[in-house]
Amino acid sequence: MSQYRTFTAADAVEYARQYGQLAEPQALVSADEIGDGNLNLVFKIRDGDGVSRVIVKQALPYVRCVGESWPLTLDRARIEAETLLIHGALCPRHTVKILHHDPELAVMVQEDLSDHHIWRSELVKGRYYPLAAGQLAEYLAQTLFHTSDFYQTAQLKKAEVSRFTNPELCQITEDLFFSDPYQDHERNHFDEALLPQVLELRNDAALKLAVAGLKHRFLSKAEALLHGDIHSGSIFVAEGKLKAIDAEFGFYGPIGFDIGTAIGNLLLNYCGLPGLFGPRDAAAGREQRLQDIRELWLIFADRFLALCHQHSRDATLALPGYAEQFLQQVWADAVGYCGTELIRRTIGLAHVADLDSITDAEMRVECQRSALNLGRVLIVNAPHIAHIDALLARIRQHG
């Protein structure tokens, strides 16, 4: 029986030899720890020519970006592997392949994606992947429809909700998205110049009421097995290809949360582009982001509805018109959650390079202001932003 221990590079090589499903496992000779996320160890396992062949990922018993003072369940590694295995079965083209996992060691072996790049890093460099938004929409439609009540039987769905109950990781989201940014909290950090706007957010009663509703729906709407953290740093892209990774926040939650997180990260890039490239050179990229967002929603809605019409197994939910009505609620949730992502990534614990890597301090603050302003507008007005073109109009007006 395996017992948890934190892997060294040598342990990771040995593990990859055993479980990496390679024809010549002894060809694996070295490992680099390359984890730059907030939570885990990630080893690239290389052969004698230095070529990366497989990835070994291990959860640490604490939050890596904070340290041992913030302990965190190792069960997240099981949840991540099992979520990716399910998502991989439903949408193999756009989900990283899990070759092996061990819940006790909190470790998994994944396919190597060295020929891909993290989407956020590419967006920050101004590189455009025209198919990515549509591919992400396909991933979201397939995974969210097939794990929803439209498709799963009520009995199985309830068992799955229990298997994917993820209280500690959900609490991180509950705190970081819906609480910290709206109060004085030691986890928050932001430029002093933003303080007046931050204080306005904390005193905005209508905003806080809308955020309470979003938090309540996050806590209670078990609609589908979400990725739970589908930002542009959890997505690998290459020309014509896209793969989702990093699903440790997976749980049964509101479908609009995944959609809103995805759109929110494209919008963070939209807000940051003038600071990254200068206002004039940013115009084309900003237009691309708006088209990405339009495509993401329209393709998701089209695919999700087609799946409902063709494959719904619940006779009551298959009633003509019900899927359309349901999708309208998903849309309203998505707009609201998108707003919370904009705000928490600007003033909360976990920031993004789209804003924070802007070198000119004044421009950086200006871009952060626009992200905060847009986030507030979207949260407060979500119920009145009826469709994608109304959203794009609001973004053009406030972003």
Strand partners, 100: 109
Least distance between Mg ion and beta carbon 384 (Å): 32
Phi, psi of 75 (to 5 degrees): -60, -15
Phi, psi of 284 (to 5 degrees): -65, -40
Least distance between ligand SR1 and beta carbon 194 (Å): 20
**Among positions 229, 258, 333, 354, the unique one binding ligand SR1 when judged by CB under 6 A:** 229
Least distance between Mg ion and beta carbon 234 (Å): 5
**Among positions 172, 225, 290, 307, the unique one binding ligand SR1 when judged by CB under 6 A:** 172
Least distance between ligand SR1 and beta carbon 51 (Å): 28
Q: What's the angle, vertex CA 373, arms to CA 370 and CA 379, rounded to 5?
A: 135
Q: Under rule CB under 6 A, which residues in 323-382 are in contact with ligand SR1?
A: 349-350
Nearer to ligand SR1, 45 or 123 (CB): 123
Least distance between ligand SR1 and beta carbon 38 (Å): 4
Least distance between Mg ion and beta carbon 246 (Å): 4
| Cα four-point dihedral sign 246, 252, 258, 260 | negative
Mind giving me the DSSP string for 302-363? HHHHHHHHHH---TTTTSTTHHHHHHHHHHHHHHHHHHHHHHHHHHSSS--HHHHT--SHHH
Q: Which stretch binds ligand SR1 (CB under 6 A): 73-81, 170-178, 193-201, 373-381?
A: 170-178
Q: Are the C-beta atoms of 322 and 312 separated by less than 8 Å?
A: no
Longest dimension (CA), the chain: 62
How many residues does the structure list for the chain? 399
Instruction: Mark residues 137-176: x for contact with Mg ion by CB under 5 A, - for none.
Output: ----------------------------------------
Nearer to Mg ion, 246 or 292 (CB): 246
Residue 239: how many CB atoms within 10 A of its CB?
Answer: 9
Among 72, 118, 126, 128, smallest CA distance to 96 is for 118
Site for Mg ion contains 246 (CB under 5 A): yes
Phi, psi of 244 (to 5 degrees): -85, 140
Please give the structure tokens belonging to residue 280. Answer: 């004039």
Site for ligand SR1 contains 42 (CB under 6 A): no
Least distance between ligand SR1 and beta carbon 7 (Å): 20
| Cα four-point dihedral sign 388, 389, 391, 396 | positive
How many residues bind ligand SR1 (CB under 6 A)? The answer is 9
Among 96, 129, 92, 140, smallest CA distance to 263 is for 140
Instruction: Mark residues 60-89: x for contact with ligand SR1 by CB under 6 A, - for none.
Output: ---x--------------------------
Instruction: Mark residues 251-270: x for contact with Mg ion by CB under 5 A, - for none.
Output: --------------------
Site for ligand SR1 contains 118 (CB under 6 A): no
Q: 79 contacts which partner out of ligand SR1, Mg ion, none, CB within 5 to 8 A by kind?
A: none
Nearer to Mg ion, 38 or 291 (CB): 38
Nearer to ligand SR1, 64 or 221 (CB): 64
Residue 163: how many CB atoms within 10 A of its CB?
Answer: 15
Site residues for Mg ion per CB under 5 A: 37, 246
Contacting residues toward ligand SR1, per CB under 6 A: 38-39, 63, 172-173, 176, 229, 349-350
